[in-house]
Amino acid sequence: MTDSHEGGCHCGALRYRIMAKPTESGYCHCKICQRTTSAPVLAWFAMPTQAFQLIVGEPKIYKSSARGERLFCGTCGTQLLYRDSEGPKEVYINTASLDDPEIARPEKHIFTASRISWFDTADDLPRYENFTPEA
């Protein structure tokens, strides 16, 4: 991916542009992602903060943990991304919020220790109980 790509919330009140290739991508099975999305897993991709630009609207911010916050639409409730609360170097964008989610194919599973037992994906991607070994 070399061109910019866009995405946004369900109702269109928030729109964003990304201007770099994802640095990593995957599925998150942590309890916080499960609860904030009401889904058994969240597909995400990461990129440098400076390569992410809000182009329409102003998101609401929810401090979801001691170190992180989630940005979402105050109108339709769509969660767009996660970032560290203080001095974020990367943003972690919800893949399905892209206009073309095909550009950010997941590469791994993280926090599988929290995976809901009745949900599994049929893939051979690496699986990590917590963060990946690089973290």
- Whether 121 is in a domain gets the answer no
Which tokens belong to 64?
Answer: 């979801």
Instruction: Report d(CA 21, CA 59) in Å as an integer.
Output: 23
CA distance linking residue 49 with residue 88, whole number of Å: 7
pTM, whole model, 2 decimals?
0.90
C-alpha 103/C-alpha 1 separation (Å) is 7
Read off the CATH number of the domain in which 40 is found: 2.170.150.70
pLDDT in tens, 5-38: 999 999 999 999 999 999 999 999 999 999 999 9
The 10s digit of each residue's pLDDT in 108-122 is: 999 999 999 999 999
Per-residue pLDDT at 2 exceeds 60: no
Spell out the residues 6+ positions from residue 50 whose beta carbon is closer than 8 angstroms to its own: none
* pLDDT interval class at 1 (50, 70, 90): very low
Q: Is residue 124 situated within a structural domain? A: no
Q: Which domain holds residue 68?
A: 5-114
Q: What are 51-91's pLDDT values in tens digits?
A: 999 999 999 999 999 999 999 999 999 999 999 988 889 99
Domain count, the chain: 1
